[in-house]
Amino acid sequence: MVFETYLISLNGSISPTEVEHILKTLTSLGGNVNMVVKRSIIASLDSAHVDIIRKKPGVKLVGGINFKGRKVRKIVKRES
């Protein structure tokens, strides 16, 4: 039961109503939809509910992703 970020890839033949149904299921399970682009959804949800999303019609792949945080270097301008 860990809250993780997942990439949900959808089939090319999925209808808009099926996408809406998947998004409603995600939010009803307590997940957060981070981004929806073409046939992909990036969402954060509890790992215990991943199998429910995998079994939805139109879902091709559900895989965990990791955004590695990088620190931005501090640039110091020295005066001459």
For 63, the enclosing helix (H) or strand (E) is strand 59-64
20-41 pLDDT, tens digit each: 999 999 999 999 999 999 899 9
For 25, the enclosing helix (H) or strand (E) is helix 16-28
Blockwise average pLDDT, block size 10, the chain, 80 residues: 90 92 95 92 94 94 82 73
pLDDT score at 23: 95
Return the closest-CA partner of residue 26 out of 60, 67, 2, 54: 54
| Domain ranges across the chain | 3-64
Q: What are phi and psi of 49, to 5 degrees?
A: -100, 5
3-64: CATH number: 3.30.70.80
